[in-house]
Structure 1
Amino acid sequence: MLRRDRTLHKYLISTSALVTGNYLSEDLSIDLSFPMDTARVHMKDDPFSRRFLVVTLDMPPEHAPGVVLARDQSYFGEVFSILLSIILGKEFKFHGLLETFGMHRLPNFNFDPNSKYYLPFYNSVPRKDLEFSLTLDKFGLIEPLLLEGTSVSDEFRKKIIAAGKFYNRAIRIFPNEPELAYLDLITCGEIISSFYDDEFTDEELYDDQLLRYFEDIETLQNGRSIVNNIKSRLYQVKRKFTAALLKNLNDEFFSKYETVGNQGRITRENSEAVIKAGYDLRSLYVHEGLEFGRYVTPHKNFHNEIVITQPQGLGQRATRTISGSPSFLGLERIIRFSLLSLINANGVPIEDRLTIN
């Protein structure tokens, strides 16, 4: 009798980019899925472009005394989408399981046309920074994050996947929810900064005026304990966010650009101010409801990494903040490179060009 294999779980994932090839390891395979009508295979990028792939995972049910535990395996579909998104720098969407524990499932095929299909995280052109080809075998570079017996700690794995979830969701929702997508990238950056909590120096966390105040206070009786108490109450979230991202940007990042021409580029010289402005933009949205989505949307002809549109009628503070902020593309590029650099430095050697000196 033909019986379905209860150890196999099949996930349907799609992407707007034209990916090729396949990936095969001991317990995992990733293969393209084509429509029966070959005329419907989109070879060019347009608002309706979707390419599908099936991930097959071999994972048997867990056994307890007298019981077979069939846990929900859908979690891994999101993880595969997150890791593919990070390594290739493209949008990936998990639609649901096709098969699990010998039972068939019906995925969710709902998706809207993508009006921003020409942007680098949607189109079929490899990303400029590391120039990874859009082939599924690149998943092997990042798969060790999921494997047991590697030097990757469980804590690191959980946190980096949590950060990657915000990154992946940001590029999925950007065409329809630009402000929320921008905030997701900021949240991803905040998780990245948490990896460095014990490494920040006073010079990174406090401005010159605060450092002088601390020096004056330390001359008082019990001054050292007073300063330590003050520091414990100063969370310095924006400065930690900025310092952590700057730690992960090396010469490779600053030597490659998605921009067309020289307008609106992030450089080593302006990167600190640009990152700080991006965090300020998040604060203006959260605390004052500032709508900024149209300003951070990269121009179709320039792919600008910094906002180049001059806001009108928003007030001096909002205008200044928006004008100095990264576009969604600029912030996305910073966040993705930081994720890759962090992974590369923590037991998953992806690429020498990600090494931070």
Structure 2
Amino acid sequence: MVSIKTPDPKEKHHESGLLIYPRLSINFLLVSLCVLYGKRFDYHGPVEMYGLYHVPNLASSEPVMHPKIGFNNHQSRANFSVELELSKLDIMRPLIDLESKIDQRIRDIFEAAGNFYLQALQKYGTHPESAYLDLITCGEILSNFCDFTYDELYDNNLLKQFETIETQIEGGAAIVRDLKKRLYQVSRKFRLTLKKLLSEDFCLKNEVPEEWVKFGGLDWKTLDKQIRVAYQVRSSYVHTGQRFSEVVQVCEFEVQVGRLQINEGESREVKEFLKALNDAPTFKGLERMMRYCLIRFLETNGAIIFPSETTGLETM
């Protein structure tokens, strides 16, 4: 239960004479708790607010399934490990304190991305495909904060084609400028952002049974490919509607162990989808990536200082 003390209205006045009540969003607090501890948190409504009493709504939450998985169990997480004590929320104090001088855009991006992370943990047991897509959306929102050069956003093939248009077609420079405005490169921005936020240290820790680490844990050498195909799974699911919960809902592993059979009679879209699933991280692996990226996002932008894990981080 959380109790929030509102300031004395006599002390907070706007120059217009109107009373001001600075308000900490319950959702923002919930997201901060969820990301810090890497655990699922649910909000059941207020018990008392503005002098009115309420009965908590316990029917508003999805049931907790798979209690042994990292975000549901009673152990600290592998990366950015925090003791499961509410006093540790002090780590997030600069972010939660509305009077701190943190760029509001950092708060907004964190809350928006973190909200999808929180939703993913809440929906994992009952709507795994939707939960997986929520984690991808979390990464997409973080990528909107980053600025990338054209050389980073476009591969060599595309850059050569732009050069050809610029040099061999009349008005080619204007055409290329227009093309670049239309080519949002969402998938590539997603991949570049996660690569910037993740580090090799991330893969040195895992939450896989010791006997399966070699086969079932995330590996830095293949992480770039796994990030790319995770986004491909999202795109394929949106276009084909192919279900994949049984593949990503494996609780023990962070990557696929075993291969899905691809039949000759399947359509090209389904074949590409199944091929992507064979190389994609499970929900367990993708969830661990996103929490790490959310905390690194705050660290690299000076919003919080985590007591351990990383130092000398490059600002985004």
Q: TM-score range by the shorter chain?
A: 0.7 to 0.9
For the pair 1:96 / 2:45, whether they are aligned, the reply is yes
Corresponding residue for 1:204? 152
TM-score by length of 1: 0.77
Report the count of equivalent residues: 297
For the pair 1:236 / 2:236, whether they are aligned, the reply is no
Secondary structure of the residue aligned to 2:215 is coil
Deviation at 1:296, TM superposition (A): 0.4
Q: Is the 8 A contact 2:233 2:276 kept in 1?
A: yes
Compared CA separation, residues 99 and 271, structure 1 to 2 (3 A): same
Render the CA deviation track for 1:270-310: whole Å, top value 9, x for unaligned.
111101111111111111101111100124xxx21112243
Deviation at 1:68, TM superposition (A): 6.9
Deviation at 1:166, TM superposition (A): 0.6
Q: Which one has a larger percent strand, Structure 1 or Structure 2?
A: 1
Counterpart of 1:189, as a letter, is: G
Equivalent of 1:256 in 205, 209, 212: 205
Compared CA separation, residues 152 and 68, structure 1 to 2 (3 A): closer
Structure 1 unaligned segments of length 5 or more: list them: 1-53
Secondary structure of the residue aligned to 1:263 is helix
Equivalent of 1:114 in 49, 64, 83: 64
1:301-340 aligned within 5 A: 303-312=252-261, 315-340=270-295
Render the CA deviation track for 1:219-251: whole Å, top value 9, x for unaligned.
235433332221111011100111011110123
Q: Is the 8 A contact 1:254 1:266 kept in 2?
A: yes
1:62-211 aligned within 5 A: 76-110=25-59, 111=61, 113-196=63-146, 199-211=147-159
Equivalent of 1:353 in 304, 309, 316: 309
Q: Is the 8 A contact 1:173 1:181 kept in 2?
A: yes
Secondary structure of the residue aligned to 2:42 is strand
Corresponding residue for 1:57? 4
Q: Distance in 1 between matches of 2:41 and 2:84?
A: 12
Counterpart of 1:322, as a letter, is: L
Secondary structure of the residue aligned to 2:43 is strand
* Segment of structure 1 superposing worse, 203-212 or 241-250: 203-212
Secondary structure of the residue aligned to 1:96 is coil
Q: Is the 8 A contact 1:166 1:184 kept in 2?
A: yes
* Segment of structure 1 superposing worse, 131-140 or 185-194: 131-140
For the pair 1:294 / 2:249, whether they are aligned, the reply is no
Q: Distance in 2 between matches of 1:181 and 1:137?
A: 29
Equivalent of 1:342 in 286, 297, 301: 297
Q: Distance in 2 between matches of 1:77 and 1:107?
A: 15
Q: Is the 8 A contact 1:343 1:349 kept in 2?
A: yes
Render the CA deviation track for 1:129-154: whole Å, top value 9, x for unaligned.
12221111121111211213423111
Larger RCO: 1 or 2 (CA < 8 Å, sep 6+): 2
Q: Is the 8 A contact 2:254 2:281 kept in 1?
A: yes
Equivalent of 1:268 in 202, 220, 225: 220
Counterpart of 1:59, as a letter, is: T
Q: Distance in 1 between matches of 2:73 and 2:194?
A: 26
Corresponding residue for 1:28? none
Q: Distance in 1 between matches of 2:151 and 2:92?
A: 34
Counterpart of 1:200, as a letter, is: F
Structure 2 unaligned segments of length 5 or more: list them: none
Secondary structure of the residue aligned to 2:84 is coil
Q: CA RMSD of the aligned region, Å?
A: 2.4
Compared CA separation, residues 181 and 109, structure 1 to 2 (3 A): same
Q: Is the 8 A contact 2:120 2:131 kept in 1?
A: yes
Q: Is the 8 A contact 1:179 1:291 kept in 2?
A: yes
TM-score by length of 2: 0.86
Counterpart of 2:2, as a letter, is: V
